Amino acid sequence: MQVEQIMNRDVKTCGPHDSLNKAAQIMWDTPCGAVPVVDEQGSPVGFLTDRDVCMAAYTKNKPLTELPVEEAMARTPICCRAEDDLDSAAQLMRQHRTRRVPVIDGNGILVGLLTLDDLACEAARALRGGMNEKLRDLVLEVHLSINHGRIRLHPAV
């Protein structure tokens, strides 16, 4: 199965020169916890999470209206292609310890967003009478890699 089959195509974006206030408003209205940052042609140049917005406001001690997105965004977005298979996209997420991956076309233009939730929903979807166990295990691996060191497994009682 390919990324384009389950990705979210209705992705809200912002530009690097937009204010963090505008980005936060997008996240509030959508509702989502992150937005890709794109240039004038629609190519991803960054990625901004709600945590990035909060930390920028805290560390800069300025209102969001005075802070541009480019001061808080991750500058190297980890992207996959629409035609990539789900396994390779999930491996990319695991490798880079990220929950969300902008999806680009052959010209590098943003066409969607793939999230760990998308993969989890696909893994749980009935597949010929059963669940996609391979994808389910991969989703677990991605989740554990993202939360490495923060998750404590409780010993059996």
- Residue 7: give its domain's CATH number: 3.10.580.10
Which position has the higher pLDDT, 157 or 134? 134
Position 156 in a domain: no
H helices of 4-155, in order, are: 20-29, 50-60, 86-96, 116-124, 133-146
Contact 19, 63 (CB under 8 A): no
pTM of the model: 0.83
User: What is the count of structural domains for the chain?
Assistant: 1
Contact 35, 60 (CB under 8 A): no
Position 76 in a domain: yes
Compute CA 155 distance to the chain's CA centroid, rounded to the nearest angstrom.
32
Q: Considering only CA atoms, which of 26, 38, 50, 48 is closest in space to residue 104?
A: 38
Give 59-92 pLDDT, tens digit per residue. Answer: 999 999 999 999 999 999 999 999 999 989 999 9
- At residue 102, the pLDDT reads 97
Position 154 in a domain: no
Domain range for residue 129? 3-146
Pairing of strands 110-115, 80-81: unpaired
Contact 152, 116 (CB under 8 A): no
C-alpha distances in Å from residue 118, one per residue of 64, 89, 111, 146: 30, 11, 15, 16
C-alpha distances in Å from residue 36, one per residue of 101, 122, 139: 9, 22, 22
